[in-house]
Amino acid sequence: MVMLLFSSFLALLFLGVPVAFSLGLSSLIYLVAADIPLMVIPQRMFAGINSFTLLCVPGFILAGNLMNQGGISDRIVRFSNVLVGHIRGGLALANVVASKVFAGVSGTAVADVSSLGAILIPAMYKEGYDKGFTCAITASSSCMSPITPPSLPMIIAATLTGLSVSRLFLAGVVPALLAGCLMLGVTYWLSVKHGYPKHPKPTWRVFFREIYGGIWAVFMVLIIFVGILSGWFSPTEAAIVACLYAVLVGMFIYRSLRIWDIPRILKESAITSASILSLVAFANVFAWILASERIPQLIASTLLSITENRYVIILLVNIFLLFIGMFMETIAALLTLFPTTLAVLTHVGVDPIHAAMMCVLNLVIGLITPPVGVCLFVASSIGKISMSEIVKANMPFLLVWLFVLFLVAYIPALSLWLPSMLMN
């Protein structure tokens, strides 16, 4: 029966059925074949989304869309360009910096690569950057979003296991900064090697004008971050505050958001939120079936039967999750596999926050690995290049992310130092 579940799920994915519906339909096929009452489906779907913490998901999505409609993407690019644009490969470096700033607004890699990519990819083409390099840096830098507050995968991970959202947010800060710095270094090296252009150093007037335009996005990140950590509001309340802030900045500071834009933004945000929450709901049905078949216990016992050495288990879990991330969307993989991998890692003495950070980072890397790499597909469609071209150009940046994963996996302090310092 388990083979029927997995084979139907893989067949549906191969046919191009969205992941959420593949999970739901394969679960339905299993329940019918096993003669289990179909009432299980609505019960488990409701149980999967019946969480106060999950309410912040539509809130952060709405806040990001409001800020984006208010012209935040263009201002973040200009803000980043005045900071690093005068260095060799300036626009490529600005791409990385802009992704880091935008990460604190969106929390999702796809929103990052689609919003900033629409601006930066044509601009980099115009300045003579190689197409593969342009799309690769745009896709890879977007992966900082899912490990930067307000990270949606971390919210999902916290919801599944009862871990602290605040601690998970803090755990991602140092790895995201480390990845950003390493990507800046690789980008600069490649820019010097290929002789990519740089911009003239901006005048002080231009510098302060663009800083003023972009600093409001940074303030939004600080409001969310400081508000949650200080206990002023919960993650769900932080999402509401972020929406209010986005409306005020978009209407009265940037003056690009109009009152008649809000119904359309609400509709777009509702559709995006529904797609994510439906994925959560269907994945909970799928996970319930796995639990009833004792698949998590089988995976855990198999890994622990090989060895109980912490470092070897960490290596095996990383290899397993990297492989899964190549074929499965990040949130879907988290929903079905995270509780199991967390149990295995904590069994050998890994701190739960460290384990969660490691799992999220593993699956985020799947966004830039073929054959499913979602961010690669988005960037290649914007840049109008083949997947083979972007995959080849992305190898240096993929190696950066794998190196960061190795450091995070075997140096727990990278994930735990900030939470332990600020949350104790």
What is the full DSSP assignment across 333-398?
A: HHHHHHHHHHHHHHHTT--HHHHHHHHHHHHHHGGGSTTT-HHHHHHHHHHT--HHHHHHHTHHHH
**Would you state the torsion angle of the CA atoms of residues 128, 133, 135, 141, taken in this order, to the nearest 10 degrees?**
-120
Nearest to 75 by CA among 175, 231, 215: 215
Angle at 93 between CA 89 and CA 97, to 5 degrees: 165
148, burial (CB in 10 Å: exposed 0-12, middle 13-18, buried 19+): buried
Strands, E assignment, 121-194: none
Along the 424 residues of the chain, how does pLDDT read in single tens digits? 778 888 888 888 788 787 778 888 988 888 888 888 888 888 888 887 777 767 777 888 888 788 777 777 778 888 888 888 889 988 899 989 988 887 767 667 777 787 788 788 888 888 889 999 999 999 999 888 888 887 888 888 888 888 888 889 889 989 999 999 999 999 999 999 988 888 888 888 888 888 887 788 778 777 777 777 777 877 778 888 888 888 888 888 888 888 888 899 889 888 888 887 887 788 888 888 887 887 777 777 887 888 888 999 999 999 988 888 887 777 778 877 888 888 889 988 999 999 999 999 998 898 888 876 778 888 888 888 888 889 899 999 999 999 999 999 999 999 999 888 877 6
Handedness of CA 293, 296, 297, 299 (dihedral sign): positive
Which amino acid, one-letter code, is at 82?
A: V
Contact 77, 110 (CB under 8 A): no
Kindly give, in sequence order, each residue whose CB lies less than 8 Å from that of residue 204, ignoring residues fewer than 6 positions away.
Answer: none
| Dist. CA 323–CA 321, nearest whole Å | 5
| Dist. CA 2–CA 293, nearest whole Å | 7
Nearest to 153 by CA among 316, 4, 322, 338: 338
94, burial (CB in 10 Å: exposed 0-12, middle 13-18, buried 19+): buried
For residue 69, give the H/E element and its range.
Answer: helix 56-69
Q: Which residue has the tokens 């735990």?
A: 416
pLDDT confidence of residue 106 = 66
Contact 349, 305 (CB under 8 A): no
Which tokens in the block code for residue 280?
A: 């959560």
| Dist. CA 368–CA 192, nearest whole Å | 24
Contact 105, 221 (CB under 8 A): yes
| Dist. CA 141–CA 316, nearest whole Å | 26
Q: Where are the domains of the chain?
A: 1-38, 39-423
| Dist. CA 242–CA 225, nearest whole Å | 11
| Dist. CA 217–CA 264, nearest whole Å | 22
Which tokens in the block code for residue 187?
A: 């980008």
Three-class secondary structure of residue 406 per DSSP? helix
Which amino acid, one-letter code, is at 66?
A: L
User: What does the DSSP 8-state code read for residue 149?
Assistant: S
Nearest to 120 by CA among 65, 165, 156, 76: 76
Global confidence as pTM:
0.83
pLDDT confidence of residue 388 = 85
How many Cα atoms sit within 13 Å of 211 on the Cβ side? 10
